[in-house]
A = this chain, B = another copy of it.
């Protein structure tokens, strides 16, 4: 395995050099590129990886449905398995959003989870996942992927984003960071998912506790990349994110809702695996290995559409959200 670019200079917009510069007067925006991507560049999201959370309706009675896509193997599968069990047991039904900290996270689970006497009993069979699962050896990831994706013979590691958190890249629909124990020496590298806006993670107590998956959060502000490799990421919200991000902020410590200060928790009506949800739409994502995604990522980094006068010349990995839509 070769790593031609791992010690190369900053590659903020890795694909720019491979693309002909469009004419300034007809340069498409990232959204236009996505809208025109051929159907073959979109990949179906497996409905078996979807979890649907219905919050109580808002003050006007509008439903608030949140659709979560669980992260694929080999990442975080211990926690993902727990989440499947919790959803199958309808464990979250009647629990609540307990914390909304501005520019950080919205968190949901058992309001009494910290109180052993009052905490809701967890279903049988949840596993305890070791901290070592926060990241995965790169060679293990590659082997696993080649097994699952027969067309893949070798991963293309040339499309690297370099930022203060290290190197990151998109692989089969998800953003990952890649790190070596010794910087710039591509030996014993590990991958971990990235804490971008809308990603879903597992709340936990102090280490070595790793959380069960019963307490979850999603990122509602600037990517808190300090959490990468310190906590398990298990998925992302692909629809209904606006219901999580627009909730009233909590007035307790760390943004927890404090009933004594007049806060009200947001009730969870139900959390279900997709198989139990009637009429759930099908979803698809723009393949991160497609030419359309390459054009989209390049346009995010170098806006040439008419509103812009100076392209940035780069983009942070979390400023290139993977397009997801309902399948047509």
Cβ of A222 < 8 Å from any Cβ of B? yes
Cβ of A270 < 8 Å from any Cβ of B? no
Instruction: Choose, from A39-47, A82-90, A240-248, the stretch at the interface.
Output: A240-248
Which residues of the partner chain B approach A226 to less than 8 Å between Cβ atoms?
300-301, 303, 308, 311-312, 315, 319
The reply to whether A309 and B197 contact each other, CB–CB distance below 8 Å, is no
Task: Give A196 to B198 CA distance when docked, in angstroms.
Answer: 18
Q: How many identical subunits does the complex contain? A: 2
Which residues of the partner chain B approach A197 to less than 8 Å between Cβ atoms?
103, 221-222
Which residues of the partner chain B approach A246 to less than 8 Å between Cβ atoms?
100, 102, 245-249
- Candidates B206, B224, B316; contact of A225 at CB < 8 Å: B316
With both chains docked as a complex, state the minimum distance between the C-beta of A202 and any C-beta of chain B, in angstroms. Answer: 14
With both chains docked as a complex, state the minimum distance between the C-beta of A52 and any C-beta of chain B, in angstroms. Answer: 19
A10, A249, A312, A313, most chain B CB atoms within 10 A? A312
From 195 to 223 in chain A, residues with beta carbon under 8 angstroms from any chain B beta carbon are 196-198, 206-207, 220-223
The reply to whether A222 and B319 contact each other, CB–CB distance below 8 Å, is yes
| With A10-B10, A12-B164 already in contact, 15 other A-B pairs whose C-beta atoms are closer than 8 Å | A13-B164, A103-B197, A103-B321, A163-B163, A163-B314, A164-B314, A165-B315, A166-B313, A166-B314, A197-B221, A221-B222, A225-B315, A226-B319, A242-B248, A245-B246
